[in-house]
Amino acid sequence: DVKVTQSSRYLVKRTGEKVFLECVQDMDHENMFWYRQDPGLGLRLIYFSYDVKMKEKGDIPEGYSVSREKKERFSLILESASTNQTSMYLCASSLGDGGTDTQYFGPGTRLTVL
Amino acid sequence: GNSVTQMEGPVTLSEEAFLTINCTYTATGYPSLFWYVQYPGEGLQLLLKATKADDKGSNKGFEATYRKETTSFHLEKGSVQVSDSAVYFCALSEWNFNKFYFGSGTKLNVKP
């Protein structure tokens, strides 16, 4: 079974802090994704990566950056956390075989910025 | 552009009732369609998928048929259980694209 793990289930940070969210997958997947999930808005794509050191902006990249130094690990960085970044963050990975690709999700990190 | 629209919830049903959650999509190419389920406190899990028109995806008693003529992928189950209580997301992915487009989710509450 594919396993996607996220470093924390719950995180509380203060405004202005630099925040790192880590995601690791164990199935040698090419693609990795970061979403945020908010009530009534569903999932919105922040960034995705289709290869090591490659990244592309999603629909809401402002205020975020990412890093993918190794194939299995994809980090989401909030350079200076703000209260409007309080949300559930979901990481996903997929094999990378095109349109029939299934995304596999981690359990999520619920981030609260005070 | 690509988008997915699903019925707003919450949907509340009694155990053994019939379930339909509507999903329609807009796509510029030839998408694959998915239903994901999110149980409380967990991430999303793939429930079923269909990759071309008229395909039927099925899993755990849930079914959805890819209808190109109506651009729909409605989720159905003949007899829901309390354990089906969750949030259901419809999604599409276009061929050779890595991006997924998710609907806003429909919360299902099943009462004993």
Give CA–CA dist B74/A88, Å, rounded. Answer: 26
Q: Quick check: A21 and A75 in contact, CB under 8 A?
A: yes
Spans of chain A below 50 pLDDT: none
Contact with chain B for residue A93, Cβ under 8 A: no
Residue B28: per-residue pLDDT: 83
Contact with chain A for residue B53, Cβ under 8 A: no
Instruction: State the Cα torsion B26-B28-B33-B36 to the nearest 10°.
Output: -60
Residue B8: per-residue pLDDT: 84
Give CA–CA dist A55/A31, Å, rounded. Answer: 10
Contact with chain B for residue A2, Cβ under 8 A: no
Residue carrying structure tokens 């309390």? B82
Measuring CA to CA, which residue among A100, A94, A101 is closest to residue B51?
Answer: A100
Nearest to A50 among B34, B95, B98 (CB): B98
Mutate to test the interface with A, among B66, B100, B107 (most CBs of A within 10 A): B100
Which phi and psi angles does B77 have, rounded to 5°?
-150, 135
Contacts of B95 in chain A (CB under 8 A): 98-100
pLDDT tens profile B59-81 = 999 999 999 999 999 999 999 99
**B49: Cβ contacts below 8 Å, ≥ 6 apart:** A100, A102, B32, B33, B34, B35, B57
Residue B1: per-residue pLDDT: 81
Distance from CA of A105 to the nearest CA of B (A): 6
Give CA–CA dist B94/B64, Å, rounded. Answer: 18
Contacts of B104 in chain A (CB under 8 A): 40-42
Residue B96: per-residue pLDDT: 60
Reported in sequence order, the residue ranges of A1-114 that DSSP labels E, i.e. its strands, are: 4-6, 10-13, 19-25, 31-38, 42-51, 54-57, 64-70, 73-78, 87-94, 104-105, 109-113
pLDDT tens profile B40-66 = 888 899 999 998 999 999 999 999 999
Contacts of B36 in chain A (CB under 8 A): 105
Give CA–CA dist A111/B15, Å, rounded. Answer: 34
Distance from CA of B37 to the nearest CA of A (A): 11
The Cα-based distances of A20 to A13, A44, A47, B85 in angstroms read: 11, 19, 14, 32
Residue B30: per-residue pLDDT: 81
Which phi and psi angles does A85 have, rounded to 5°?
-100, 5
What 3-state DSSP class applies to B17? coil
B67 CB-contact burial (10 Å; exposed 0-12 / middle 13-18 / buried 19+): middle
Cross-strand partners of B109: B12
